[in-house]
């Protein structure tokens, strides 16, 4: 974050100073919305949440070294007051004011840093955003100081929070932009306008909220609409293998670069294959030349994500050889996303439990089968429901169950008693899982117990569901290995 005095902070967010002894005190660290993470010289953003109201934690943030709190109300600590009363401000209005303030600070920060040469890259798509962002941030870091969000900080709070992590030393800022409705990505892009925008794909994630894939495409395309013109350096990196993404070329004034497996893509891969742990190897083909890539992340779909990262890297001045080398060194950086652990007994657990949609589920299942085929062990899929699919949810879960059988997944445990979980299980049974290969279990602990009791030394387990299902507990119980097997007692199982 660029240095600002408290007076400048108040001016930027349209607030007033309360109980501030020195308005010219310089803020040396960006805002934190968790009082436990405040550092000396920083700001505390008092946001009301589902479980607690940040205003109640201002004193502890001040004790931790916060020079002031951004809040809707005047508090008993130095405060940049965002509201005009009457006080106390209702929680919903307090939250709105806090989010508007952090957005205003982030916008000012981004504009100042872009004027100093910062390159902002935005990444969106129905799936693969976090994995691609992680690859890209690591590749760009080989050329200059790079800021990217930890995990999926991609909403109206996490996005500006990330922008404020960029400072005068930053060369690149990589942002992940998510949407739950039309207009959301446009709003995020106004906070920090990207010069380069990447659209990975239009899938079924949040289909229940958008109503159709066409509406999802409208929302995702807001990123390329926000880019500068080609004359001003704007670049739209589009997935050549997705017609809905490719059509976004008509919606931008930026120069278009296509990536993918298609022959029409400027940045593409040839001879894609995977090793024993489903790590892709391929030849990166570009207009500037070719180079071999050996990814350290898992799943053939990661080759596609790597191509998107490569396209951006080349636009940012890396050579083909530098890009390929950096991609080959990059590691999975966000937890519970194709996180592969080899146990002491040789069994492998794939923790991909952070989130799930039909496209990422299929990608995870393909990686599972690839790895189990190479190891010679049994492929286990522990799956839970996918959220936010709307009226198509039952059909999509049924199709997923059938897909698992067609891939020859050997054991399928479906967790939960919802209609969606039952549809997933029923689809597998009707497709050909007639001898108990597919089993419907009540909760994560039952699933973990079954796998722990039966897992063989060469078996591979995929754990995947929407985050709200809590299936990460299955993966983490299985990877807490004691004397060659999962220590389920340490995870609260009996």
Q: 462 and 346 share a domain?
A: yes
Give the pLDDT confidence score for residue 212 in this predicted structure: 87
Q: Does residue 491 form part of some domain?
A: no
Residue pair 78/44 in contact by the 8 Å Cβ criterion: no
CATH number of the domain residue 383 falls in: 3.90.190.20
pLDDT level of residue 493 (50, 70, 90 thresholds): very low
Give the pLDDT confidence score for residue 488 in this predicted structure: 34
Q: Does residue 267 form part of some domain?
A: yes
Annotated binding site for ATP: 125-131
Give the pLDDT confidence score for residue 489 in this predicted structure: 29
Decide if pLDDT at 486 tops 60.
no
d(CA 66, CA 333): 29
CATH number of the domain residue 294 falls in: 3.40.1190.10
Decide if pLDDT at 445 tops 80.
yes
Q: Which of 329, 347, 376 is the last residue of a domain?
A: 329
Over range 233-255, report the average pLDDT.
Answer: 97
Q: 17 and 142 share a domain?
A: no
Q: 419 and 296 share a domain?
A: no
Over range 188-201, report the average pLDDT.
Answer: 97
Decide if pLDDT at 122 tops 60.
yes
Q: Does residue 132 form part of some domain?
A: yes
The alpha carbon of 36 is separated from its chain's Cα centroid by a whole number of angstroms, namely 23
CATH number of the domain residue 41 falls in: 3.40.1390.10
Q: Which of 300, 329, 358 is the last residue of a domain?
A: 329
Beta-sheet pairing, 348-351 with 339-342: antiparallel
Decide if pLDDT at 56 tops 50.
yes
Over range 247-259, report the average pLDDT.
Answer: 98
Decide if pLDDT at 482 tops 70.
no
Over range 384-397, report the average pLDDT.
Answer: 91
Residue pair 253/304 in contact by the 8 Å Cβ criterion: no
Mean pLDDT estimate for the chain: 92
Q: 226 and 344 share a domain?
A: no
Q: 394 and 462 share a domain?
A: yes
Q: Does residue 486 form part of some domain?
A: no
pLDDT level of residue 485 (50, 70, 90 thresholds): very low
- For 347-360, the pLDDT digits (tens) are 999 999 988 899 99
Q: What is the pTM of this model?
A: 0.87
d(CA 60, CA 466): 34
Q: Which of 329, 358, 374 is the last residue of a domain?
A: 329
Decide if pLDDT at 483 tops 60.
no
Contacts of 197 (CB under 8 A, 6+ apart): 121, 122, 123, 124, 223, 224, 226, 227, 234, 235, 236, 237, 252, 254
Annotated binding site: 125-131
For tokens 């962002």, the residue is 133
d(CA 412, CA 440): 8
Give the pLDDT confidence score for residue 481 in this predicted structure: 40
Give the pLDDT confidence score for residue 44 in this predicted structure: 95
Q: 206 and 121 share a domain?
A: yes
Query: Residue 48 to residues 10, 30, 45, 180: CA-CA distances in angstroms?
Result: 20, 19, 10, 21
Domain count, the chain: 3
Decide if pLDDT at 443 tops 60.
yes
Q: Does residue 494 form part of some domain?
A: no
Q: Does residue 274 form part of some domain?
A: yes
Decide if pLDDT at 487 tops 70.
no
Q: 372 and 279 share a domain?
A: no
- For 91-118, the pLDDT digits (tens) are 999 999 999 999 999 999 999 999 999 9
Q: 316 and 381 share a domain?
A: no
The alpha carbon of 425 is separated from its chain's Cα centroid by a whole number of angstroms, namely 28
Q: Does residue 369 form part of some domain?
A: yes
What 3-state class would DSSP assign to 214?
Answer: helix
Over range 242-262, report the average pLDDT.
Answer: 97
Over range 122-127, report the average pLDDT.
Answer: 93
Give the pLDDT confidence score for residue 210 in this predicted structure: 78
Give the pLDDT confidence score for residue 385 in this predicted structure: 93
- For 201-237, the pLDDT digits (tens) are 998 776 767 778 899 999 999 999 999 999 999 999 9
Q: 161 and 309 share a domain?
A: yes
Q: Which residues is 237 bridged to in the sheet?
A: 198, 257
d(CA 274, CA 215): 34
- Does residue 479 or residue 105 have the better pLDDT? 105
Beta-sheet pairing, 481-482 with 485-486: antiparallel
Question: What range defines the domain where residue 143 resides?
Answer: 117-329
Q: 52 and 150 share a domain?
A: no
Q: 433 and 409 share a domain?
A: yes
Over range 289-308, report the average pLDDT.
Answer: 96
- For 151-190, the pLDDT digits (tens) are 778 889 999 999 999 999 999 999 999 888 899 999 999 9
Q: Does residue 412 form part of some domain?
A: yes
Query: Residue 279 to residues 72, 119, 272, 299, 302: CA-CA distances in angstroms?
Result: 49, 30, 10, 6, 8
Q: 162 and 284 share a domain?
A: yes
DSSP for 287-347? TTEEEEEE-SS-STTHHHHHHHHHHHHHHTT--HHHHHHHHHH----STTSSEEEE-TTS-
């Amino acid at each position: 974050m660029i240095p600002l005095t408290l007076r400048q902070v108040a001016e930027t967010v349209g607030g007033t100073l309360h109980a501030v002894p020195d308005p010219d005190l310089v803020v040396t660290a960006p805002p934190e919305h968790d009082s436990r993470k405040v550092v000396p010289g920083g700001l505390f953003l008092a946001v009301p949440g589902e479980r607690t109201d940040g205003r109640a934690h201002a004193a502890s943030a001040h004790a931790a070294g916060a020079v002031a709190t951004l809040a809707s109300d005047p508090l008993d600590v130095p405060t940049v007051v965002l509201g005009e009363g009457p006080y106390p401000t209702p929680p919903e209005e307090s939250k709105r004011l806090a989010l508007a303030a952090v957005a205003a600070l982030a916008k000012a920060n981004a504009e100042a840093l872009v004027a100093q040469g910062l390159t902002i890259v935005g990444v969106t798509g129905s799936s693969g955003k976090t994995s691609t962002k992680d690859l890209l941030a690591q590749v760009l870091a080989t050329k200059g100081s790079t800021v990217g969000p930890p995990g999926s900080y991609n909403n109206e709070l996490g996005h500006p929070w990330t922008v404020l992590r960029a400072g005068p030393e930053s060369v690149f800022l990589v942002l992940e932009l998510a949407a739950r409705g039309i207009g959301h990505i446009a709003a995020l892009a106004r906070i920090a306008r990207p010069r380069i925008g990447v659209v990975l794909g239009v899938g079924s994630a949040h289909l229940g909220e958008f109503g159709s894939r066409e509406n999802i495409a409208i929302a995702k395309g807001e990123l390329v609409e926000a880019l500068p013109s080609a004359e001003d350096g704007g670049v739209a990196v589009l997935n050549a293998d997705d017609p809905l993404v490719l059509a976004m070329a008509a919606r931008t004034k930026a120069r278009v670069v296509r990536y993918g497996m298609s022959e029409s893509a400027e940045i593409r891969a040839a001879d894609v294959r995977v090793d024993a742990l489903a790590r892709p190897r391929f030849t990166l083909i570009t207009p500037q030349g070719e180079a071999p890539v050996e990814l350290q992340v898992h799943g053939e779909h990661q080759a596609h994500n790597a191509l998107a990262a490569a396209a951006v890297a080349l636009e940012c001045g890396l050579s083909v050889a530098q890009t390929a080398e950096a991609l080959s060194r990059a590691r999975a950086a966000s937890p519970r996303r194709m996180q592969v652990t080899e146990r002491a007994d040789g069994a492998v657990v794939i923790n991909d439990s952070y989130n799930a949609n039909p496209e990422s589920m299929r990608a995870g299942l393909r990686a599972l089968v690839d790895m189990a085929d190479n190891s010679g062990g049994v492929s286990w899929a522990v799956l839970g429901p996918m959220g936010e699919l709307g009226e198509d949810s039952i059909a999509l879960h049924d199709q997923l169950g059938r897909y698992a059988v067609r891939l020859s997944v050997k054991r399928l445990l479906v967790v939960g008693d919802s209609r969606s979980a039952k549809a997933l299980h029923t689809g597998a049974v009707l497709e050909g899982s007639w001898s108990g290969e597919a089993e419907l279990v009540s909760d994560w602990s039952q699933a973990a117990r079954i796998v722990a009791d039966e897992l063989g030394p060469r078996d591979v387990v995929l754990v995947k569901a929407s985050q709200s299902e809590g299936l990460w507990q299955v993966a983490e119980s299985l990877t807490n290995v004691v004397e060659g097997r999962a220590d389920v007692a340490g995870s609260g199982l009996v």
